[in-house]
Each structure stands twice: as structure tokens, then as C-alpha cells.
């Protein structure tokens, strides 16, 4: 039975690749992430297809613009039925609040479930050197916590953050706040271009709600076996 704390990242560029992967993984996965590469290539059909297969969708488009533009974008995306939608916390509190209001109003108007909004904090590809290069003043961890608190105050349902910050976010934002963590690398996988990473077991132990995992599954020789091993690691700490 699929564990809905696991979200598999569909880092592919075509509907054919999406369908092949979903077919290969079958009932072992119930939740998928559609990101920029796939959505920009194939559009709303990606979300519709996944829903037709009985899957939940995390739409990871990282919206970031002036408040009105992001609010209108969220309103337009609400009709697709994705469970989760991302925007950048660094767009600020007014932008986030406008997005939350737009999601609620659009869902009520359309009579659909309101998507939960996740604020992206600091991308997991950042390490200290890269963070300093763009003018980061606070240590990464402190900035992530600051943005998570701001996101909660602005009406966000949760954040996207590295597993290394999950414990601190859980402590300051409470048990009902969603913490979705990319940068998860099971014990058998390579780090690739992720810098701030953790295993599934440690991420869940530190308070992560859901784990986003891509290449360790999608590039595996046996993707379904990779899922089995990952779920086994996850359930070692939280059955």
C-alpha cells in the first residue's frame, strides 16, 4: 500500500515519460510532484492525467511576482485540483496573504477543494558559499526559520525546506504546519546537486510531513524496488 508521505518528483519532459513512470510504479506511489519542466512542456494535462489515475498532485511552480499577479496565478491554478501549490516566501507577506485569499475565494467559487499553499524558503541546492554569494546576511538555517514564521503568519499552510531545518521549523510553527522536504537521499542513493540533504528516516524524525524524492527513484534500475526500500526506511521511524 502506498505511503502518501512520499511524493515522487516527475522530473521528465513529456506525457509519454510521465505515463511510463506512473505505470511502472503502479499502486506503490500515490503522490506525485509536477514541476516546471513537465508543466511547461505538457501543461494542465499532466495534473488531469494523474488525477484520473487516482493520484494526488503537488504542483511545484514556485510562483514569485507582485502580489496581484501571484494571486491571479493561484486563482487560475486552483481549478486544476492539485493538493499542494508552491510560491516563494521571499515574495513577502503581502504576496503570500494575497495568494492565500485568492486560493480560498477561487475554491469557494468553483466549489472545489482549496489547494494548500506552500512557501519555498531557501532552495536545497544552496550551500553556505552560494548563499553568501547572493548576499545572504543571516545563516541559512536562521533565514529559513524566519521565512517559515513569516509564511505561517501570512496564511500559508506550510513550507518547502531542507530536512536539516525541519526540526526547528516544527518547533516554532507547530504540529499542524506542513513541512515538505526535498533533498532527501535514501541510504543507497547519491547526493547529486543537492547540498543540504538527509535520509528519509532522519527527515521524518525531525518533523517533516512529506518527502519529495526524484532521481533515486526515477533513475533507478528498478524504480518500484527503490520505492519499497525508501518506504521501508520511512516506516522504520513512523509506521
Catalytic residue positions, numbered: 62
Q: If we measure between CA atoms, which residue out of 14, 121, 4 comes closest to residue 58?
A: 4
- Cα gap 215→219, rounded to integer Å: 5
Q: Which residues contact 64 (CB under 8 A, 6 or more apart)?
A: 70, 87, 88, 90, 91, 95
Name the packing angle between helices 140-153 and 166-173 (round to 10°). 30
32 close to 237: Cβ distance less than 8 angstroms: no
**83 forms bridges with which residues in the sheet?**
none
Q: If we measure between CA atoms, which residue out of 182, 146, 143, 175 comes closest to residue 161?
A: 182
Query: How many angstroms separate the Cα of 99 from the Cα of each of 43, 88, 116, 117, 148?
Result: 21, 11, 11, 8, 16
- Cα gap 206→214, rounded to integer Å: 21
Query: How crowded is residue 92: how many other Cβ atoms within 10 Å of its Cβ?
Result: 15
Amino acid at each position: 500500500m502506498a505511503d502518501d508521505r512520499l511524493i515522487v518528483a516527475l522530473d521528465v519532459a513529456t506525457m509519454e515519460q510521465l505515463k511510463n513512470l506512473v505505470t511502472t510504479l503502479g499502486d506503490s506511489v500515490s503522490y506525485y510532484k509536477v514541476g516546471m519542466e513537465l508543466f511547461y512542456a505538457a501543461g494542465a494535462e499532466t495534473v488531469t492525467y494523474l488525477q484520473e489515475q487516482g493520484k494526488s498532485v503537488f504542483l511545484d511552480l514556485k510562483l514569485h511576482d507582485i502580489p496581484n499577479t501571484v494571486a491571479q496565478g493561484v486563482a487560475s491554478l486552483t481549478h486544476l485540483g492539485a493538493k499542494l501549490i508552491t510560491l516563494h516566501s521571499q515574495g513577502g507577506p503581502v504576496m503570500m496573504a494575497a495568494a492565500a485569499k485568492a486560493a480560498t475565494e477561487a475554491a469557494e467559487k468553483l466549489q472545489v477543494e482549496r489547494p494548500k499553499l506552500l512557501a519555498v524558503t531557501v532552495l536545497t541546492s544552496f550551500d553556505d558559499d552560494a548563499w553568501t554569494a547572493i548576499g545572504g546576511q543571516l545563516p541559512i538555517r536562521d533565514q529559513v526559520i524566519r521565512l517559515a514564521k513569516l509564511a505561517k503568519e501570512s496564511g500559508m499552510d506550510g513550507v518547502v525546506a531542507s530536512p536539516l531545518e525541519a526540526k526547528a521549523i516544527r518547533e516554532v510553527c507547530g504540529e499542524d504546519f506542513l513541512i515538505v522536504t526535498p533533498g532527501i537521499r535514501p541510504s543507497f542513493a547519491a547526493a547529486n546537486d543537492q547540498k543540504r540533504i538527509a535520509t528519509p528516516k532522519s527527515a521524518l524524525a525531525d518533523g517533516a510531513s512529506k518527502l519529495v524524492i526524484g532521481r533515486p527513484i526515477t533513475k533507478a534500475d528498478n524504480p518500484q524496488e527503490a520505492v519499497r526500500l525508501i518506504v521501508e526506511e520511512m516506516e522504520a521511524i513512523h509506521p
